[in-house]
Structure 1
C-alpha cells in the first residue's frame, strides 16, 4: 500500500539539502480596487489647531489693547477718547485723505506722503555714502582704525541734536529734516556693511590673491555677494530709525508732514486725530519693515537667517 505524506511549506524548505534560500513566494492575487477608491486620494486632515494658533493670538492682543484703552478712557473721564469715538473720527478722516484747503490744511494722505518723501531722500543719500564707506572700513585695516573712534563718538548722539546744525547750515526746515534723516540713517548701514566685509572667510581672499584678481573684481565677485545679507540688515535698521526720527523732526520744523500734522492737531486739542495718527505711523512703519524683511530674505543665506 502506498501512503501519501503531505508536508507543509516550512517542512519543505527545511528538507532542502542545499539550504539555499528559496525563491520569494509570489504574492497572492489581489482584488483590483474599485474605480472610486483610485479616483479619491486620501487628503490630510485640515490643521485647525495651527490655524487657531496663528489667528487667535493677534486677535487676543488687539482685544487686550482695546480693552485697556477703553478702561483708561473711562477712568480719565473721557479726556482720552474711547475706541468707538476714535473709530468714528478715523472713518471721517479717511473718507477724504487727500483734500487740500491751503498750505497748512491738507489731508492725512498728503502728510504721510510728504514724510515718506523726506525719508526717501535722506535715506537714499545715507545709502549712497554709508554703504561705500562701510566697504572701505571693512576692507582696509587703516581706515577701520581711523574711523572707529569717530563712529563710536557720533553714533550715540540723538538725531534731534543734529537738527539745529541743519537749520544753521541749510537755512530751511525741509533740508534740515532731510539732514537729520541722513545723519541718523548712515550709522546702521556703515556698521553692518563693515562687519559683513570683515566676516568674509579668509579662504575667499586667499583664492583671490592666488588668482591675482583686481580690487574691483574682489569687490564685485567676492565681497558684494557675501556682504549683501549684512548690508540689507543695515538698510532695514536704517529705514526704521529714519521713520522714527522724521516725526519728531517735523514737529520742530513745521511744514507738511505727519509729525507736523500731529503737532497741529494737538494745538487744536483734537486728541482723536492724534491717536489716529499714532496708528497710521505704526502701520506705515510696519509695512516698511515687512517689505525690507522680505527683500532681505531673498538675498540671505540660510545660516545667516538662522
Structure 2
C-alpha cells in the first residue's frame, strides 16, 4: 500500500509527450512534487481538519452509560411491578409500594428515637446488630486466620483438623444457639457465639487453601536461605495468602449478617432481627418490608466495602 502511493525520485520517468520536461531538465518549482502526483492519481482522500486546525475530541460514550444504568433500573422496576401486582391481587391487605414508601419516609425521618428498652428506632436496631456481628466476627478472625495458616503450613495439623472441620462446618448456625444459651446464660452472648461459630469456617478454609497454594519454589528458596518461621510467614506466606484470606473474610461477613437476623428473632432484645419479629407480632407488614430492604442495603454496603479492601491489597496478576 505504501509503495503504491509513495515513490522515490529515482523511480520517476520522464513524460513521453511534450510536457516541457526532458532528460536532464530541471522541474519547475510550481509543479507538483513526486509525492503529490500519485496521491492525486490514486484518488486518496485528504484528511480534512476542522476549523482552527485542531482535531475533534471524541464525544461522551452515552451507550456505555446506558448499559450501566438501565439494566439495574429495569431490574428494580421489574421487582416493583411484581410487588404492585401482588398488592393489587392480594386479599390480605398486602401493602403496595407507594404505601410502603410513605411509611419508610416516616420511619427514616427519626431513626434514632428511644421510647423504652424495646421501643427504639430502626437506626439503633441496625447498630445493635452490627455491634454483635463485629464482636463475633472479630473473635472468629483472631482465631480462624492464625489457625488457617497453621493448618495450611503443617501437614500434621491439616490431617488433625480436616475431619473436625468437615464434620462441624455443615451444621446450621442456629443449631449452635441453644448451646450458647446454656453455656453463657444470656441472649446477647449467645447471639455473638452464633456469629463466631458461623464466621470461623470460611476464614480457616480459605486461609489454609491459600497457604497450600503458595508455589513450592518460594518455600525451596526459604529453606536454602535458612529463613526463620517468622520470616517465612511475613515475607512469603502473608503476601501470597492475603487475597485468599480477604475472600474468606468477605464470605464470613456475609454469613454473619445473614445469621444475626435469625438469631435475634429467637433471642429478642434490640436488633434488626428482633425488630422484624416484633413488627410481625404487631401485624405491621409495611415495617417488615422496610426492614428487609434495610437488611439488604446494609449487607450490600458491607460486601462493597470488603471488595474494595480486597482489591486494594491484591496484586495485579491476581486481579487479572
TM-score normalized by the length of structure 1 = 0.89
By how many angstroms is 1:303 displaced? 3.9
Structure 2 residue 130 is matched with structure 1 residue 116: yes
Alpha-carbon deviations, 1:112-162, whole Å to 9, x = none? 000000000000000000000000000000000000000000000000000
By how many angstroms is 1:302 displaced? 3.6
- Of residues 176, 190, 197, the one that matches 1:183 is 197
- Over 3 Å counting, the alpha-carbon distance change for 1:78 and 1:60 in structure 2 is farther
CA distance in 1, matches of 2:271, 2:154: 41
TM-score normalized by the length of structure 2 = 0.85
- Of residues 114, 117, 120, the one that matches 1:106 is 120
What secondary structure sits across from 2:94 in the alignment? coil
- Over 3 Å counting, the alpha-carbon distance change for 1:10 and 1:211 in structure 2 is same
How do 1:113-262 residues align onto structure 2 when only pairs under 5 Å count? Answer: 113-262=127-276
Give unpaired runs (5+ residues) of structure 2: 1-8, 15-22, 25-32, 37-47
Equivalenced residues, count: 285
Deviating beyond 4 angstroms after TM superposition, the runs of 4 or more aligned structure 1 residues are 25-28, 33-36
CA distance in 2, matches of 1:135, 1:80: 51
CA distance in 2, matches of 1:246, 1:79: 29
- Of residues 21, 37, 48, the one that matches 2:52 is 37
Give unpaired runs (5+ residues) of structure 1: 1-6, 17-24
- Over 3 Å counting, the alpha-carbon distance change for 1:212 and 1:279 in structure 2 is same
CA distance in 1, matches of 2:242, 2:68: 31
Over aligned residues, Cα RMSD in angstroms?
2.2
- Over 3 Å counting, the alpha-carbon distance change for 1:210 and 1:258 in structure 2 is same
